[in-house]
Homo-oligomer: A and B are copies of this chain.
Amino acid sequence: MRDFSNDHHWLSLNTATVRKSEGLEQPLTLILDACARHGIHAISPWRDQVHAVGLAKIAAQVKALDLQLSGYCRGGFYPAPDAKGLQDALDDTRRAIDEAKILNAPCLVLVVGALPGALQGKAAHKDIALSRAQVFDGVAASLEYASSVGMPLAIEPLHPMQAAERACINTLEHALDICEELDPEYSKKLGVAIDVYHTWWDPKLHGQIKRAGKRIQAFHVCDWLTPTTDLLNDRGMMGDGVIEIPKIRAAVEAQGFSGFSEVEIFSSSNWWNRPMDEVLTTCIERHKTAV
Contact with B along A153-166 (1 / 0, CB 8 A): 00000011101110
A115 shortest CB reach to chain B, Å: 6
Stretch at the interface among A184-192, A226-234, A272-280: A226-234
A124 shortest CB reach to chain B, Å: 10
**A123 near B: Cβ within 8 Å?**
yes
A174 touches B203 (CB 8 A): yes
Q: How far is the CA of A243 from the CA of B126 in the complex (A)?
A: 6
B231 touches A160 (CB 8 A): no
Q: How far is the CA of A173 from the CA of B226 in the complex (A)?
A: 25
State how many copies of this chain the complex holds.
2
A224 touches B164 (CB 8 A): yes
A161 touches B159 (CB 8 A): yes
**A242 near B: Cβ within 8 Å?**
yes
B165 touches A226 (CB 8 A): yes
A165 proximity list for chain B (CB < 8 A) = 226-227
Contact check: which of B118, B121, B123, B226 meets A164 at CB < 8 Å? B226
Contact check: which of B119, B168, B201 meets A128 at CB < 8 Å? B201
Contact check: which of B127, B171, B202 meets A244 at CB < 8 Å? B127
Contact check: which of B122, B127, B231, B244 meets A161 at CB < 8 Å? B231
A117 shortest CB reach to chain B, Å: 9
Q: Which of A118, A128, A168, A230 has the most CB of B within 10 A?
A: A128
Q: How far is the CA of A202 from the CA of B161 in the complex (A)?
A: 11
* Chain B: CB-nearest residue to A165: B226
A118 proximity list for chain B (CB < 8 A) = 226, 242
| Contact A228 to B121, CB < 8 A, known contacts A170-B203, A243-B126 | no
Q: List 18 A-B contacts (CB under 8 A).
A: A115-B226, A115-B242, A118-B226, A123-B226, A123-B242, A126-B243, A128-B200, A128-B201, A128-B242, A128-B244, A160-B202, A164-B224, A164-B226, A164-B241, A168-B201, A170-B201, A228-B231, A229-B231
